[in-house]
């Protein structure tokens, strides 16, 4: 593929990643916590697709399939293990092996209201 051999690919690579990074950074600053929570799986999936696209542009089918399994694992783990708080919008990573996190590490708000069972006191703490 002549496009992959040219310097154009490097330019497109840096331009696209700069736009993706800046776009997500700006969105994360201005979006509401609920919008961040809803957009997080799509943003992670989109970023994974951009990685796969550049792997394919750089090395064809071999690059695509070499990158496919790690990208699917990383995107899946990000969707499963990263929960965004409904109140403050902060992302909290859940440890899948050990007991899961029930409240936001940033503000203390509970992350999954459907599974909340109050046992022995209030788990949320007031916002300072
Ligand atoms: Zn929070």
Q: What is the pLDDT of residues 52-93, one digit of tens each?
A: 999 999 999 999 999 999 999 999 988 888 888 888 888 888
What are the residues facing 93 on neighbouring strands?
82
CA 97–ligand 1 middle distance (angstroms): 22
Q: 37-62: string of b/e by CB count within 10 Å (b at 16+)?
A: bebbeebbeebbebbbebbbbbeeee
CA 17–ligand 1 middle distance (angstroms): 28
Q: What was the pLDDT predicted at 71? A: 96
- Predicted confidence (pLDDT) per residue in 15-48, tens digit: 999 999 999 999 999 999 889 889 999 999 999 9
CA 2–ligand 1 middle distance (angstroms): 49
Banded model confidence at residue 127, pLDDT cuts 50, 70, 90:
low
Q: Does the pTM exceed 0.75?
A: no
CA 123–ligand 1 middle distance (angstroms): 13
Distance CA 83, CA 58 (A): 33
- Share the mean pLDDT of the chain: 83
């Amino acid at each position: 593929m002549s496009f992959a051999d040219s310097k154009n690919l490097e330019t497109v690579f840096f331009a696209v990643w700069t736009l993706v990074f800046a776009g997500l950074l700006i969105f994360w600053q201005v979006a509401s916590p609920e919008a961040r929570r809803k957009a997080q799986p799509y943003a992670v999936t989109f970023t994974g697709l951009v990685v796969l696209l550049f792997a394919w542009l750089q090395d064809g089918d071999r690059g695509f399939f070499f990158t496919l399994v790690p990208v699917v694992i990383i995107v899946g783990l990000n969707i499963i293990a990263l929960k965004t708080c409904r109140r403050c919008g902060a992302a909290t990573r859940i440890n899948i092996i050990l007991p899961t996190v029930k409240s936001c590490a940033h503000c203390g708000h509970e992350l999954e209201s459907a599974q909340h069972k109050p046992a022995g006191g209030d788990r949320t703490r007031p916002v300072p």
